[in-house]
Each structure stands twice: as structure tokens, then as C-alpha cells.
Structure 1
């Protein structure tokens, strides 16, 4: 089987998995009460608004690396280094900002050439876009979906299949993730912890 055929075969699965996690995140964004955007989140020093802006900014950074063009502010959300949370203008439409990024990432994942294009650096090294999205992208969306829900009183239940798959993929990468400075040290999971609790403890959350 040629490399092109393999990419064309594997990309739809990655795209579908990404879409489910992105849609779950978007649902929490849309469900956030107006008076909860300034609520503190499990991410130290970040509000609920900061969490969403960070996810948007991370998407833009990935797209910029794939397309070779610098990210641009849009929908009232500025640009910052990928590990940070960019400034957000008053009245910014965070759902629209995320939807735009979601659409662009899906388009890239469904393009065999772009899906196979390696991203530079990161804890996985220079791996194809689809692999980075399937592991680190899933980590970001799962973790920050929970962060946003916890901050705003939303639905904290995550996609259990994605939780288990992502946790397993991340286990051998723990040291590399810590080295990025964007990943908190793990905390011990309680005895008998379910898959979601074990995953959240692994990524440094305290469910």
C-alpha cells in the first residue's frame, strides 16, 4: 500500500475523532453562562475565558505551522505563544472563533498531503499532523474541556474511549510533556479510580 493510500485511509478516522472532541469542547463553550467567563479554572491563573482563548490560540499555531503562515487575530481573540492564553476583546465571540479553527483543522486532516505533513518540535517530535492531533490535540481538548466545565459548572463527563486511548498514548511521553512546561506534574489517583479520574490525575488535575 502506498503512503498516499495509507494517509487517505487513516485520516478520516483521525478527523472523526478530532471532530467529536472539538464538538464536545464547543458544547461547553456555548453552555457557559455569561456571568461565568471570569470564573477561575483549574489552570492556575486562568479564567474560563482564558482556557477557551488558549485552545483557540493552540489551534491557530498548529495551522500556522502546517501552512507556513503566521497566525492572525480574529473574532476578538489575539495571538500569543502557544502555551499561553491570548488577550480577548470585550464581547468577543469565542464560539465563532473556535468554530473557525475547528473547520480549518478538519480541512487539513481531510487533505492527505496536509495530514501527512510533519509538525516541527513538540513532545512527539516531528510527527505528521494527524498523529499530533490524535495524541497531543486530544490531550488539549480533553483536558481543557474538563477545565472549562469545572470552572463554569458545566458537564464534566468526557468521551471515555478518547480518555482511555489518549492516556495510553501519553504514558511513555510523560517526561517529554513535563519538559514543555505546559503539563502539570501528575498527582496520585485514588484507589479504584475510573478511567477519567486516572487520566485527569495523570495530567495534573485534581478531579
Structure 2
């Protein structure tokens, strides 16, 4: 029986929201390993990305790009963690729609089934959660089991991802003893380095 990745996605959303809720006022402008974006822009990307997936699952074009640019209006409001949680809850609601996982969806770089789209969304939240943790020093509490299940499922796709830097960078060196979240980050173009915390 196939694993229900919607439960894993809900857990990833919850852990990412926890990181966001601990971001201090003086940390929002810090640079992140996602070199084009600071902390605020990474969180905005996650919110906009969740909303874009909701639109796609409803058969509608996204209202705006999930890729924030400097000077864009702030989508996070006065309570970024709550804004993020609301965007995540809306997506989880859409996943429950009949046939949501069997239909196909147009993403910026590929066409996928709902099941594959769910895994890509989870990957985006995991790796950008890693970015936020590295930028702010707040710890990660993602489940290794969740990441290992996802990595096994994504393994056939890793070599086919566009590596032009727009979506993914080249695979980076994975240090000995790296945790599953660090391995995932390196596979998607992050320089993990010696530290894995």
C-alpha cells in the first residue's frame, strides 16, 4: 500500500511554521543559503508557493508568482507564522478534494500528478526550512523518517532536475555523518559544509 504523503506534508508544514514563529525582528533581513533571498523573502516564497499550489489544484492560474522580488509588497502581514499556517491549511484542504491526487498539474518546470506535486511542495518547504534554520540559528525538528521516505521517492527524479540555478543548483558535497535533511539540501544545491546543525 502506498504511503500517505499528505500526513508527512502536514508534519513538515507544522515544523516549518515552528521555525517561522521563532524568527526575531532583527533576523528578517538576514541573508540565507538561498542566495537571492533574505529570511523574509524565503518565508514569502513559501506562502506564495502554497497559495500557487492551491490555485493550480483548483484549475486556476496563480494570482501572483511564488518568486518574490525586492520591493514586492509584503505578503506576510503582522503575523508571518499565522499567514504561513493559513496558506498551508488551505493547501491541505485542497488535497482532500476528490481525485486531487490523480489529476495532472502544470508547474513552472514540469507537468506532474497530484501525488508528485505534493512531494515537490514538501521538498520546497523542507529545504527552505533548512535555509531559515541556517540563517537564524533556530533548530530544525523535521522527522528523519519523513525525509527518508521522501528522498527514496524522489531519487529517480534527482538527476533530471533543471540545474541552471533558477530552480536548483548543482549537487553539492555531502559530508560524512550528515543528517537526512542536510543530504536533501545538498542534493538540491545547498552547500552543507562540515556543520549539520
The TM-score normalised by the length of structure 1 is: 0.79
Please give the alpha-carbon distance, in whole angstroms, between the structure 2 residues aligned to 1:185 and 1:15: 28
- Over 3 Å counting, the alpha-carbon distance change for 1:196 and 1:89 in structure 2 is closer
CA contact (8 A) 1:164 1:199 kept: no
Please give the alpha-carbon distance, in whole angstroms, between the structure 1 residues aligned to 2:156 and 2:189: 16
Matches within 5 A, 1:43-122: 43-72=34-63, 79-80=64-65, 82=66, 84-85=67-68, 87-89=72-74, 92=77, 93-121=79-107
Structure whose residues are more often helix by fraction: 1
Structure 1: which 5+ residue stretches go unaligned?
A: 1-8, 73-78
Which residue in 1 is equivalent to 2:15?
24
CA contact (8 A) 2:169 2:188 kept: yes
CA contact (8 A) 1:14 1:109 kept: no
The TM-score normalised by the length of structure 2 is: 0.83
Structure whose residues are more often strand by fraction: 2
Please give the alpha-carbon distance, in whole angstroms, between the structure 1 residues aligned to 2:131 and 2:161: 18
Please give the alpha-carbon distance, in whole angstroms, between the structure 2 residues aligned to 1:10 and 1:112: 18
Which residue in 2 is equivalent to 1:137?
121
